[in-house]
């Protein structure tokens, strides 16, 4: 194991670079993948089906559809409920672009509203103001793993006859008022990307009503009828019909093999994430130069990200320089996210200005995501704390 070196006279520095978010892959996952490679089925097959059932049971959902990404899940959800040209979908600027790209993919119009200053999740009061006769759905994003205020959003959806499609890319395993995210009877899309709390390298899952998932499943594999994936098995049929111009969004058994083992380990990995979070918050919580993330009492945070916010009026450097200083100390970090409305495609098409969503814009300028994953050793955690503390002490006003 590489140990961080002692602080020098100039500043603290680890002896090796600490990556921001490597995957936590054990020998169990490797053996499961090898077993799949040695089998007669490596694409969508029995392990994918098994993963769907076990994952949906874990998140207390009546059904699951394994896919090649969370983006695919969001796109399929919109397509499944027939959202298209002329429709509006309300979502947040404080998300990765895919949450909004999929609205464009189906020909609908994204309507952005600002976020709450404490959790950076979508503001239900602003959602209420944004609803028009063209609104068909709300797409909340459980930012960093902290669930949105779902009661308020569900109430708005019921009052106006809207669908809710949850972007739960960060939210495994999160809970809202004791209920798992994924178990709130909405179509919910999860991500299993390499940096996520559970990984299949690339991959995702759409959970929700089995009847809706039946249509989503058909759309996910070229629009073919029947269990098209099964047509090459001993019990399958060569016959199929294309009933809709679908997509190619299926998960493979190689990915599912990873997912099945990761699902067995998720509670253990999550406990370690919470251990990291506790160490960070204990270290940074009393520094006036920093604002630590919160966990509201009615939720269980998934802690996909630990988003530290800099109180820039107390520091002589900006966020960019803070990240540079972390890198010089051999600590990886990231920014989540550049708000959607600041990207050229969206600012050009809709005329959005940075200040149109002032909370998202202001908070973006001071957020830094610190390393948070289940591979971090206590010495790794100490090195992150030492580096951040050293930067604050060096550049505090």
163 beta partners:
137
* CA nearest neighbour of 96 among 199, 185, 189, 20: 189
383 three-state secondary structure = helix
What tokens appear for 28 in the block? 């169990």
Determine which one of 47, 136, 175, 196 is catalytic: 196
* CA nearest neighbour of 115 among 152, 151, 156, 143: 143
Q: Is 196 a catalytic site residue?
A: yes
* CA nearest neighbour of 92 among 140, 136, 132, 55: 140
Q: Quick check: 286 and 257 in contact, CB under 8 A?
A: no
Rg, C-alpha atoms of the chain:
22
How many CB atoms are located within 10 Å of the residue 239 CB?
8
DSSP state of 188: E
H or E, element range at 154? helix 150-160
The Cα–Cα gap between 162 and 81 comes to: 11
* CA nearest neighbour of 77 among 21, 140, 124, 28: 140
Q: Quick check: 259 and 200 in contact, CB under 8 A?
A: yes
The catalytic residue positions are 196
């Amino acid at each position: 194991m590489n140990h961080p070196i002692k602080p020098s006279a100039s500043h603290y520095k680890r002896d090796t670079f600490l990556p921001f978010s490597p995957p936590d892959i054990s020998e169990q996952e490797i053996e499961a993948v090898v077993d799949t490679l040695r089998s007669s089925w490596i694409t969508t097959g029995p392990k994918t089906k098994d993963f769907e059932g076990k994952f949906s049971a874990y998140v207390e959902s009546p059904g699951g559809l394994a896919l090649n990404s969370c983006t695919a899940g969001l796109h399929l959800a919109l397509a499944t409920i027939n959202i298209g040209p002329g429709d509006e979908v309300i979502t947040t600027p404080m998300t990765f672009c895919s949450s909004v790209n999929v609205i464009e993919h189906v020909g609908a119009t994204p309507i952005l509203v600002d976020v709450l200053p404490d959790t950076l999740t979508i503001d239900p009061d602003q959602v209420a103001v944004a609803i028009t006769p063209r609104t068909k759905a709300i797409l909340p994003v459980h930012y960093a793993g902290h669930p949105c205020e779902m009661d308020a959003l569900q109430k708005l959806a019921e009052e106006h006859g809207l669908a809710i499609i949850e972007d739960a890319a960060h939210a495994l395993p999160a809970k809202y008022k004791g209920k798992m995210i994924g178990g709130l009877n909405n179509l919910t899309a999860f991500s299993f990307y390499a940096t996520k709390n559970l990984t299949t390298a690339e991959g995702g899952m759409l959970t929700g009503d089995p009847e809706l998932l039946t249509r989503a499943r058909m759309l996910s594999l070229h629009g073919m009828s029947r269990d098209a994936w099964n047509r090459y098995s001993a019990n399958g049929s060569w016959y199929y019909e294309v009933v809709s111009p679908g997509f190619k969004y299926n998960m493979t058994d190689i990915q599912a093999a990873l997912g099945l083992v990761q699902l067995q380990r998720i509670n253990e990995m999550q406990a370690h994430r919470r251990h990291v979070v506790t160490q960070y918050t204990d270290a940074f919580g009393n520094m006036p130069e920093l604002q630590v993330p919160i966990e509201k009492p009615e939720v269980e945070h998934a802690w996909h990200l630990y988003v530290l916010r800099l109180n820039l009026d107390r520091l002589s450097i900006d966020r960019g320089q803070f990240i540079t200083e972390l890198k010089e100390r051999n600590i990886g970090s990231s920014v989540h996210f550049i708000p959607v409305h600041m990207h050229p495609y969206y600012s050009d098409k809709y005329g959005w200005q940075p200040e149109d969503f002032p909370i998202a814009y202001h908070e973006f300028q001071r957020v830094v995501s610190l390393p948070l994953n289940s591979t971090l050793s206590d010495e790794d955690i100490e090195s992150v704390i030492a580096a951040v503390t050293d930067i604050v002490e060096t550049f505090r006003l």
